[in-house]
Amino acid sequence: MSEHESHLNGSVPTPRSDEGEAVGTRRGMFGASGTGDTSGYGGLVRAVRFPGASHRPYGGWFDEVADELDGALDEQGIDYEAAVDKVVVDRDEITFHVRREHLKDVARTLRDDPALRFELCTGVSAVHLLEDTGRELHAVYHLRSITHNRLIRLEVSAPDADPHIPSLVEVYPTNDWHERETYDFFGLVFDGHPALTRIMMPDDWTGFPQRKDYPLGGIPVEYKGAQIPAPDQRRSYT
């Protein structure tokens, strides 16, 4: 039985969810334009749609986690509805979309509450969604409970104009280098990080290479004495 099947017992109801949120239309294989694309996929057109919020019952132990988190936050005087924007159950995985001002409180509660005990954060990554106006930058955390053998996801968003979210290094020290890498590539600023500096790119590098608005031209690459043109300068075979 797989990790994600372990919570199913054959009688778990499929959670109802909204149809999803259409946030735009993507053209081409990667949604980029003006790049001299030679892949042949430039003509693809598809809707960009996010999974909608799921409704109770979520199924299996998902409801137990949500209920315990709700009660534990209430004991601290934190309103669950104010902290958790929505819950999405998709492909047998559960994601709590948390408002950034409550991220640290939610993470600490998930770590410390005996009925939750998500002791380990395996890292943070990010995605840049230009179509998601006002919340273009998303940070994603994967939390594992070794005690209860469970895996959940936290997701928090920030706008391009204000790319700040709280650092979780104080709660999960293993996030130190992960937050630095996410800052390095996406420009997300983790407030409270002990030393938020670049970790892969040179310190004087301009821009954040994994953002969707980062120019694809890159820099010339030298290979055995030959200069390789940047992607947007290569010959088109179409």
Write out pLDDT tens, residues 146-200.
Answer: 999 999 999 999 999 999 999 999 999 999 999 999 999 999 999 999 999 999 9
For the chain, give the longest Cα–Cα distance: 65
Q: What are phi and psi for residue 144, nearest 5 degrees? A: -120, 135
Alpha helices in the chain (DSSP H): 62-75, 80-83, 103-112, 175-186
**Domain edges within the chain:** 52-233
Q: What is the pLDDT of residues 1-46, one digit of tens each?
A: 444 444 433 334 444 445 677 777 777 765 556 666 666 666 778 7
Architecture of domain 52-233: 2-Layer Sandwich (3.30)
CA dihedral 78, 83, 86, 88 (to 10 degrees): -90
